Amino acid sequence: MSAANQYIDRMTSFDPQPWQPLPAPPLTDDLAKNTSLADATLWPTPGAGPEDVLVDSDGSAITGLDDGRIIRVSGDGTTQEIAHTKGRPLGIEWLGDGEMIVCSTDAGMQRVTMSGEVTPLASAFEGETFKFVNNTTVASDGTVYFSDTSTRWGIDTYINDLLEGRPTGRVFELKTDGALSVVAEGLQFANGVALDADETSLFVAETGRYRVYRHWLRGERAGETDLFLDNLAGFPDNLTFSDGILWVAMASPRQGIVDFMAPRNWMRSLSYRMPDGMKPKPVRHGMILGYDVDGLLVHNLQDTTGRVAITTSARVHNGRLYIGSLTEPHIAIHNLS
């Protein structure tokens, strides 16, 4: 294919779907800007992008880097390489004793042991290879839930998925016998997933629409989906649930230009054609919000200084919040008390 035809093919593959977001809530009152996270301790990582963080019983952090490594980081500055996924690890969760499950973007779902073994678990659905598995959570019976952000774009072109706005994101259920099924679909940039305390429902972040849904897995409402949080002040990323609190990591606050472009296809198509450096990008403003089971905001943790930024995950362990980032070369540790 000639360079000209490749260019035409790239241009025509972008097919934006317009939508009209609600006005962004101002960062005032309960959402007031602050620097709560600015004094966090930073644990350097030997590479960039500890997007999600798992915490071991000794308080050390386990995370994946953008070069494919799974590593352990301790507060004394020591690091240890556990495994190499041959992909880009994002979501990470305990699967069993000494085992983790990792969302390795286009490499699919993988089992990773502490001894370094990497085993593929799911890389495709109905003959279609996954492009962007993203976040995961594991039930007590070993059932795995994970998000597949887009059927059209991967991690390296995630901005294009947000610009295009097509709801191709899904959430899957992976049983211990390998059975794979769709739990939810039609999501614009499916992202964080987290089970509630008794595992009757699953919280799901829809990044591209600034929402979090609650999908009921069992009980009288099994199969139903509620809109749990709407019109959020930022782009919701990974979710975790701990002690009655749903922690929502915001990769960036909302941007007026992105909302302005949302119903205007010509603007989004123009932005798509621009070099990557000129496309919208996350704002360096850390934001972690905590909500109770009724959807009430009870924690508003921010860093307007940008020291803790591009905050893509938050996990509680022994009174500390372990904060991951898609791009930063460190894990941030914030004391909650």
Kindly state whether residue 108 falls inside one of the protein's structural domains. yes
Kindly state whether residue 23 falls inside one of the protein's structural domains. no
Asked whether the predicted pLDDT for residue 73 surpasses 90, the reply is: yes
Average pLDDT over the chain reads: 95
Question: What is the per-residue pLDDT for 97?
Answer: 85
What contacts 164, CB < 8 A, 6 or more positions away? Answer: 14, 15, 16, 17, 152, 153, 268, 272
Q: What's the pLDDT tens digit per position in 209-240?
A: 999 999 999 999 999 999 999 999 999 999 99
Asked whether the predicted pLDDT for residue 3 surpasses 60, the reply is: no
Q: What is the mean pLDDT of residues 191-205?
A: 98
Q: What is the mean pLDDT of residues 137-145?
A: 97
Residue 306 per-residue DSSP state: S
Question: What is the per-residue pLDDT for 96?
Answer: 86
Question: What is the per-residue pLDDT for 42?
Answer: 98
Q: What is the mean pLDDT of residues 302-330?
A: 98
Question: What is the per-residue pLDDT for 337?
Answer: 81
Residue 36 per-residue DSSP state: T
CATH code assigned at 50: 2.120.10.30
Question: What is the per-residue pLDDT for 278?
Answer: 92
Q: What's the pLDDT tens digit per position in 77-132?
A: 999 999 999 999 999 999 988 899 999 998 999 999 999 999 999 999 999 999 99
Range of the domain at 150: 31-335
- Reference 317, options 139, 60, 71; nearest CA is 60
Identify the H or E element spanning 8: helix 3-12
Token pair 């995630």 in the structure block, residue: 158
Q: Are 250 and 212 in contact (CB under 8 A)?
A: no
pTM metric for this prediction:
0.95
Q: What's the pLDDT tens digit per position in 308-317?
A: 999 999 999 9
Label residue 210 exposed, middle or buried (CB < 10 Å: 0-12, 13-18, 19+): buried
Kindly state whether residue 22 falls inside one of the protein's structural domains. no
Residue 105 per-residue DSSP state: B
Distance CA 70, CA 64 (A): 4
Kindly state whether residue 331 falls inside one of the protein's structural domains. yes
Q: What is the mean pLDDT of residues 135-159?
A: 97
Kindly state whether residue 141 falls inside one of the protein's structural domains. yes
Q: Are 317 and 59 in contact (CB under 8 A)?
A: yes
**Sheet strands side by side (includes 245-253):** 234-242, 245-253, 286-291, 297-303
Tokens for 45?
């990582």
When divided into structural domains, the chain yields a total of 1
Question: What is the per-residue pLDDT for 8?
Answer: 36
Residue 176 per-residue DSSP state: T
**Cα torsion angle, 178, 179, 184, 185, sign:** positive
Kindly state whether residue 250 falls inside one of the protein's structural domains. yes
Label residue 245 exposed, middle or buried (CB < 10 Å: 0-12, 13-18, 19+): middle
Token pair 């990582």 in the structure block, residue: 45
Kindly state whether residue 8 falls inside one of the protein's structural domains. no
Q: What is the mean pLDDT of residues 184-201?
A: 98
Report the SS3 class of residue 204.
strand
Residue 157 per-residue DSSP state: G
Question: What is the per-residue pLDDT for 1?
Answer: 36
Kindly state whether residue 249 falls inside one of the protein's structural domains. yes
Give the whole-number percent of the chain exceeding pLDDT 90.
94
Q: What's the pLDDT tens digit per position in 4-30?
A: 434 433 444 899 999 999 999 999 999
